Amino acid sequence: MKPRKLTMFGIVAAMLATLTTTSPVFAAPANVLNVNVNPGINGQGVDQPFGHVTVCTPGTNNCQRIGRLLIDTASFGLRIFAQALTVPLPAQKSGPDAIGECVFFGSSTAWGRVATADVKMAGEPTISNLPVQIINPQFPSVGHRPAACNRIGVPIARNPLQANFNGILGVGLVQFDCPACVSSTPANGYYACISTNCTRTTEPLVLQVQNPVALLPVDNNGVALSLPLPPVSGAASLTGQLVFGINTGSNNQIPGTFKIYTADPTFLTFTTRFHNTPIGFSFIDSGSNGFFYDNPSLPVCPGIEAPWYCPAALTAQHATTIGSDGLNSTVVNFVIANAESLFLTGNAAFFDLGGNLGSGMLFDWGLPFFFGRRVFVGIAGKSIAGVAESTPLWAYK
């Protein structure tokens, strides 16, 4: 058995038993992007949702459809591995300097140049001149990834095969990926690069890599991600939907039975109460491939790469999620299975996969949270018709 890697690309029971494991096939509306959970490029991925976009050289019909993009509800912006890109995308520059970016994810960093592309998602109108990141650890030349970026995290991967995806489509809670970079120069920010050297620089909001959903003409206030529930032993693949917009059309209305959970506007978190302990650094993240939280009573698998939980039997768990404003809360029931047994099935989609990060300060509701659910993600600064709470927010039942 090959080890299955823990992946976190966002900020750092009888429950669902009545839900179906398959979805009927219909012609997708313009605001719907099909999402598939499968083993990915290297065939070893688990709980990773993939979608595609079309990117074009700005102002031309020179376009490329790029699939196997990780759909990430806890990051912001389109990021593509250089090796996956075949159309030329002009570099963003500040005078003679090319602009690069170092982005910190929950378990690693992505480094590469910033470029401009025309981008089309599903049947939505094309977004013109979108700043995107081209992930390339050898930019601006071999061995010149900035030392400051190295200090905050190792590269997510050197190529798509190693990463198991061609890039990341970040459709999370905010539009711009580094508001602080307008006036400051953090290590996880923007750089001005010459051929062999990069120095930190500020970056105007309009030029920053940003959540493409926020730039759509109508469906720009968020997304809804829904995935069917796999069997207890997992599924080889599953197909769900990423729907653009919230309460902007007939297919993206928040049902009256759903509750709204506001996220802290600075940290993009809410609270999870687990074992009567409130965990303030909690978030919902489709880019993480498990439930990640600290439960000392659950044994960790011996001898495999990540600290996955390996209880002897399927173990029921529950926690309470609470909006950052304290107004709404609900008990979430979930289960944890033996990860080693799950991996031996060869399947790629599991609703009962979890791991221990060794910190009681964090609760990451990863992709298993989405199975059998529809989860709405509202973008900060955007209004949602009929919703009194301010964004950013999540909504689910």
Q: What is the mean pLDDT of residues 289-303?
A: 94
**DSSP, residue by residue, 127-191:** EEEEEEEEE-TT-SSTT-S-HHHHHH--BS-SSHHHHTSSEEEEE-S-SBS-GGGGT---SSSEE
* pLDDT value of residue 13: 31
Cβ pair 172, 73 in contact under 8 A: yes
Q: What is the mean pLDDT of residues 57-63?
A: 98
* Domains, the chain: 32-215 (2.40.70), 249-396 (2.40.70)
- For residue range 101-150, list pLDDT tens digits in order: 999 987 789 999 999 999 999 999 999 999 999 999 999 998 889 999 98
* pLDDT value of residue 367: 98
* pLDDT value of residue 19: 29
pLDDT confidence of 306, banded at 50, 70, 90?
confident
Q: What kind and span of H or E run contains 336?
A: strand 329-336
Alpha carbon distances (Å) from 162 to 7, 44, 119: 12, 10, 25
SS3 assignment, position 223: strand
Cβ pair 8, 106 in contact under 8 A: yes
Dig out the tokens for 394 from the structure. 């999540």
Cβ pair 243, 306 in contact under 8 A: no
Q: In sequence order, which residues have a C-beta less than 8 Å from that of residue 285 and are 6 or more positions away? A: 8, 9, 10, 11, 72, 73, 74, 106, 364, 365, 366, 367
Q: What is the mean pLDDT of residues 262-286?
A: 97
Half-sphere exposure of 106 (CA within 13 A, CB side): 28
**Minimum mean pLDDT range among 30-44, 83-97, 145-159, 162-176:** 145-159
* pLDDT value of residue 5: 64
Closest Cα to residue 101, out of 30, 196, 173, 202? 202
* pLDDT value of residue 17: 28
Q: In sequence order, which residues have a C-beta less than 8 Å from that of residue 339 and are 6 or more positions away? A: 4, 301, 304, 308, 309, 310, 353, 354, 355
Dig out the tokens for 76 from the structure. 């912001």
